[in-house]
Amino acid sequence: MLKVIGIIPARIGSRGVKQKNIKKISGKTLIEYTFEEVKKSNLIDDFIVSSDSEFITELGESYGAIPNCLRPAHLANDTALTIDVVKYELNKFNDLINQYTHIMLLQPTCPLRKAIHIDECIRKLEERNGNSLISVVEVESYHPLRMKKIHNDKLINYIDTGYEDMRPRQKLPKVYIRNGAIYLSKIDDVISLSTFSNPECIPYIMTQEESVNIDSEADFLMAEYYINKNIKKG
């Protein structure tokens, strides 16, 4: 049986939106949407918050996060890699981590991800006896066969098929991209391979609405629209 610890990386700074993790959206800070769903999950055993902000870590603890000290400055800047942050926290909590088999990365920029998605991912990985699982969304109109690159001021097909593929989107083969909502992997593999995407990684498909990933003010408006729509639906 999987024993899962969640990790929520949430630095105070942000390049695209100032202090976006604590920016209010429909009456709550962005990060609280992740805290609430982790707390509702039936299958995540514990979770930790990795941040350079006392406000964020204390807010996480109020939702049940394992107490944690602040991460160092070199892991809280624009160039810090998430995988390095995760490995830092795993090493710091080395004795505690031995109690768990898997780690789930939950980025707070995905406020439409729900507890049901978290639990379905854990069940799917366990049922498939897999090494890792990553949530994805269909690219739809942003299909790679429709993409271009510019060379010598001329448009060239990004994928060279020898012709212009003008088929309707529905006729093109389905292609998916990581949506940033859920990454789940064996702890030993994350440490040894420095990635959540292990060999034979299993997909978990989410809808466009569920996959809103906030990186700009426009993303905030889109997320707020869907959140308010779901509130109205009850």
Residue-wise DSSP of 129-192: T-SEEEEEEE-TTS-GGG-EEEETTEEEESS--SS-----GGGSPP-EEEEEEEEEEEHHHHHH
- Mean pLDDT is highest, among 56-65, 93-102, 146-155, for 56-65
What would the mean pLDDT of 165-189 be, rounded to a whole number?
Answer: 92
**Model confidence pLDDT, tens digit, residues 186-212:** 999 999 999 999 888 999 999 999 999
Domains of the chain: 4-137+178-233 (3.90.550.10), 140-174 (no CATH)
Please tell me the predicted confidence (pLDDT) of residue 40. 98
pLDDT of 234 higher than 70: no
Residues in the chain, how many?
A: 234
Percent of the chain with pLDDT over 90: 81
User: 234 or 138, which is more confident?
Assistant: 138
Find residue 151's DSSP bridge partners: 154
* pLDDT score for 149: 93
Confidence of residue 162 (pLDDT cuts 50, 70, 90): confident
Decide: 175 and 144 in contact? Cβ < 8 Å: yes
Sequence-distant (6+) residues with CB within 8 A of 38 are: 6, 8, 44, 47, 63, 64, 106, 115, 118
% of the chain exceeding 70 in pLDDT: 100
Per-residue pLDDT, 199: 80
Q: For residue 13, give the 3-state DSSP assignment.
A: coil
State yes or no: pLDDT of 95 exceeds 90. no
| 112/233: higher pLDDT | 112
User: Residue 131, Cβ neighbours under 10 Å: how many?
Assistant: 20
- Residues forming beta bridges with residue 75, ordered by sequence position: none
Please name the residues in contact with 211: beta carbons below 8 A apart, sequence gap of 6 or more.
110, 112, 135, 137, 179, 180, 181
Residue 148 in contact with residue 160, Cβ under 8 Å?
A: no
Confidence of residue 150 (pLDDT cuts 50, 70, 90): very high
pLDDT score of 13? 83
**Contact status, residue 223 vs residue 214, Cβ threshold 8 Å:** yes
pTM equals 0.94
Q: Can you give the pLDDT at residue 18? A: 84
